[in-house]
Amino acid sequence: MAKAVAKTSRSRGARRGSRPSHEDRFAKVFAALGEPTRLRIMQILPREPICEQMYNVIELADELGLTQPTVSHHLKILSEAGVVQCRRQCNSLYFYVHQDAVMGWLKETKAKFGCENCKE
């Protein structure tokens, strides 16, 4: 019994220090987009980093009718998944959709699920 526990602990410890696999990163985008508020954020944010169109957290919270901490939490998840990026201007971060990452993920999704010839 003690050997099994030791073996499990070692394998978990080794995994913590390792980089996430490609499959883990791919699944992370599904998880990030699988929540209605985050989908709304993706729809609101601009597709390019154009100053006048980007939102900071406070502006986005006002637009969504949510609190700033809630929006920050959702933006962190989207950023960690790689589908949202930000630019610092003065004392604020302004967010936009990382279009290249989203398009790459969509192409990979089509390929993984047998839709290589699906129309755009």
Say if CB 95 and CB 60 are below 8 A apart: yes
Q: Is 45 helix (H, G, I), strand (E, B) or coil?
A: coil
Q: Give the pLDDT confidence score for residue 46 in this predicted structure.
A: 92
Q: Give the pLDDT confidence score for residue 24 in this predicted structure.
A: 79
Q: Give the pLDDT confidence score for residue 17 in this predicted structure.
A: 59
Give residue 1's Cα distance to chain centre: 40
Domains and CATH numbers, the chain: 21-109 (1.10.10.10)
Say if CB 98 and CB 85 are below 8 A apart: yes
- Closest alpha carbon to 73 in 47, 35, 43, 46: 35
Q: How far apart are CA 116 and CA 82, in angstroms?
A: 23
Question: How many C-beta atoms surround the C-beta of residue 31 within 10 A?
Answer: 12
Q: What is the pLDDT along the chain (120 residues), one digit of tens a residue?
A: 444 444 443 334 445 556 767 777 888 888 898 999 999 999 999 988 888 889 999 999 999 999 999 999 999 999 999 999 999 988 889 999 999 898 888 888 888 887 666 665
Say if CB 49 and CB 60 are below 8 A apart: no
Tokens found for residue 3: 């050997």
Q: Give the pLDDT confidence score for residue 96 in this predicted structure.
A: 94
**Left, alpha or beta for 65 (phi > 0: left; psi -120 to 50: alpha)?**
left
